[in-house]
Amino acid sequence: MVVKFGCLKIKIFVVAVLLKLSYGQDFGYEGSIGPAFWGLTYKGCNGGKLQSPIDIEINNVVKINFPPLSFENFDKPLETVRLENNGHTVQLSIRQGDIPKIRGGPLNGTYRFQQLHFHWGKDDHEGSENLINNRSYPLETHLVFYKEDYGNFSNALADDDGLTVLSFLYHITILENKKYEKFEQELPQVENMNSSVEIVNFDSLNDFTTTDRDTYFTYKGSLTTPPCSEVVTWIEFAQTIPLSHEQLQVFRLITGNAGKIDHNFRPVQAVNDRVIYASVPTTDSASSKIEHTTWLLVVSLFKTYLLFSFVVN
């Protein structure tokens, strides 16, 4: 009996190793572990009504006057950060220093920074997860925050207002973005899967955001990776960030379990009956004429950002 039991343990171990070798990780972006199959392992990725990402159609959004967003510690240099390749993306977290926080806008409470990561595509015409007017962008950064009331990220996943994600889209320019030089220099150190590096005296979180942080879309959604928990308040900024083709190419050298990660974005999900809001600069609410004019300016601004992105691409 002991021998048979030992053989059984060996067989189970061998099967486990073979499965790990076959699949490497429990989710990916193509083949049998691609987005279409996530729901087999993570039930939350199938059948939900608040899944992300989505296609934001500007003409269907609802204007609203939110309180101003408040960005705490976004301008402070990060003492020590950890940059890592988790096999799906490149992720940055803070190891030491003042933790950025955000409040206001559509948020009910204060949210604490957890990590930021990136989504990109095979070429300069795809890569973003959220779309605007069915238009994809070559890169999207997600700054992930959890609600302080819950104490930590894991606890926050249990409530529908547990997380907020600040999302920033990019457009291609001829000139390099100087703010990304240091970050780009560090990326080759995490080119291999499961590699990581700690960096001291890093840039501030402001360098990963836009100058216009008053104009944005917001909606209730989910994580865009398993377990696809529907606990996220999304804030999608309208202004795009410039990045050169050469700078973007560095992301496509990152490797996962199946080789180069040339794309890591989930396809858009159904909006269903969700309302997508657009922030409107504060105006005199007593004057509908001013409000209407402001809204026209906001729509015009969104479309200007879109047009500019098309031109530089």
| 17 within some domain | no
| 273 within some domain | yes
| 252 within some domain | yes
> Residue 273 CB: number of other CB atoms within 10 A?
6
| 12 within some domain | no
Is 117 among the residues known to form the active site? no
Q: Which residues touch 4 (CB under 8 Å, ≥6 apart)?
A: none
Residue entry with tokens 């002991």: 2
Residue entry with tokens 């990109």: 120
Nearest to 226 by CA among 93, 5, 41: 41
The Cα 210–Cα 19 span in angstroms is: 43
pLDDT, one tens digit per residue, over 257-307 is 888 999 999 999 999 999 999 997 765 443 333 344 344 555 555 555 555
Name the residue range of residue 219's domain.
Answer: 25-312
Q: What is the dihedral of CA 264, 267, 269, 271, to 10 degrees?
A: 100
pLDDT of residue 258: 82
Cα–chain-centroid distance for residue 59?
A: 24
Distances (CA, A) of 166 to 188, 216, 296: 25, 10, 24
Q: Which residues touch 251 (CB under 8 Å, ≥6 apart)?
A: 90, 118, 120, 139, 187, 261
| 2 within some domain | no
> Residue 313 CB: number of other CB atoms within 10 A?
14
Beta carbons of 139 and 170 less than 8 angstroms apart: yes
Q: Is the dihedral of CA 23, 27, 28, 32 positive or negative?
A: positive
The Cα 177–Cα 180 span in angstroms is: 6
pLDDT of residue 301: 58
Residue 40: CA count within 13 A, CB half-sphere: 8
| 16 within some domain | no
- Total domain count, the chain: 1
Residue entry with tokens 């990561």: 117
CATH number for the domain spanning 46: value is 3.10.200.10
Nearest to 282 by CA among 7, 1, 62, 68: 68
Nearest to 233 by CA among 110, 92, 119: 110
The Cα 180–Cα 51 span in angstroms is: 31
| 4 within some domain | no
Nearest to 224 by CA among 85, 53, 40: 53
Residue 254 has which token pair? 């990152």
First to last CA, the chain: 69
pLDDT in tens, the chain (313 residues): 444 434 433 333 333 333 333 334 589 999 999 999 999 999 999 989 999 999 999 999 999 999 999 999 999 999 999 999 999 999 999 999 999 999 999 999 999 999 999 999 999 999 999 999 999 999 999 999 999 999 999 999 999 999 999 999 999 999 999 999 989 999 999 999 999 999 999 989 999 999 999 999 999 999 999 999 999 999 999 999 999 999 999 999 999 988 899 999 999 999 999 999 999 776 544 333 334 434 455 555 555 555 555 444 5
Task: Please tell me what DSSP assigns to residue 293.
Answer: H
| 15 within some domain | no
